[in-house]
């Protein structure tokens, strides 16, 4: 796999903050504070830890799926900023005329797999509520997502997970876990990345990763907030 698709897109400070959140939430799960809700959907504390840790560490891995021609010059700055968050741009040579479209392991593959599992094990009513939640969060995320030169599509980190949490508490106040996680993950990926793919060729990004830089924060924090909501 090319080094251009294996990199941490965040600064060390942002990564440290996300890691601290991960450790704190995993601690709550292991001490039984919010473990009961996950036991109901078949997740042990160890599995929850693997999901969250895998999401964070997997954010460094982007699996290329196709290449598209760009209509903008390639950006060579090492970092780009959006809403106070710095995103790392992999180094490329001048003259590159294509953008690699990739799928981020930690920001797309792992959380999407968990979302599918939750939907497959949920009751029909919960599935319908989750799908409705995905649609709402996708619309909100699409409204706030912005194209960023050299990065791709970026969203304010806290808006998708907060939107998912509010939607979950409204639609399924007694069991918000599934709706919060599924809506936060799939709603963010659809609203930020999939609905904005046509903008990618104009951004001069060497790698545009679905669930990667610009979107990963919202997806990861959706998982964190879903875990916290499970304890309500």
Tell me how many domains the chain contains. 1
DSSP string, the chain: --GGGB---B-HHHHHHHHHHHHHHHHHHHTTSS-HHHHHTT--HHHHHHHHHHHHHHTTBEEEEEEEE-SSPPP--SEEEETTEEEE-----TT--EEEEEEEIIIIIHHHHHHHHHHHHS-HHHHHHHHHHHHHHHHHHHHH-EEETTTEEE--TTHHHHHHHHHHHHH-TTSHHHHHHHHHHHHHIIIIIGGGGGGGGGTT-SEEEETSTTTHHHHHHHHHHHHHHHT-
pLDDT on residue 220: 81
User: Quick one: pLDDT band at residue 149, thresholds 50, 70, 90?
Assistant: confident
Distance CA 100, CA 75 (A): 14
The boundaries of the domain holding residue 90 are 3-230
pLDDT on residue 115: 93
Q: Is the pLDDT of residue 143 over 90?
A: yes
User: Quick one: pLDDT band at residue 75, thresholds 50, 70, 90?
Assistant: low
Distance CA 16, CA 7 (A): 15
Q: Is the pLDDT of residue 170 over 60?
A: yes
Average pLDDT over residues 83-89: 59
């Amino acid at each position: 796999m090319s080094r251009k698709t294996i990199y941490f897109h965040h600064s060390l400070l942002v990564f440290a903050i996300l890691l601290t959140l991960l450790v704190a939430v995993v601690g709550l799960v292991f001490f039984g504070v919010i473990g009961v809700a996950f036991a109901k959907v078949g997740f042990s504390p160890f599995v929850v830890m693997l999901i969250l840790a895998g999401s964070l560490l997997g954010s460094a891995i982007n699996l290329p799926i196709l290449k598209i021609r760009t209509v903008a010059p390639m950006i060579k700055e090492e970092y780009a900023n959006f809403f106070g968050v710095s995103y790392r741009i992999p180094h490329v040579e001048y003259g590159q005329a294509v953008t690699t479209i990739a799928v981020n392991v930690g920001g797309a593959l792992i959380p999407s797999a968990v979302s599918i599992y939750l939907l497959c094990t949920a009751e029909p009513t919960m599935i319908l509520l989750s799908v409705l939640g995905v649609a709402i969060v996708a619309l909100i995320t699409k409204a706030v997502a912005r194209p960023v030169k050299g990065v791709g599509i970026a969203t304010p980190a806290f808006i998708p997970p907060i939107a998912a949490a509010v939607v979950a508490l409204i639609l399924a106040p007694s069991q918000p876990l599934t709706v919060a996680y599924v809506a936060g993950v799939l709603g963010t990926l659809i609203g930020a990345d999939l609905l904005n793919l046509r903008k990618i060729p104009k951004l001069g990004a060497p790698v545009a990763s679905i669930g990667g830089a610009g979107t990963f924060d919202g997806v990861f924090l959706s998982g964190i907030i879903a875990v916290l909501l499970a304890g309500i």
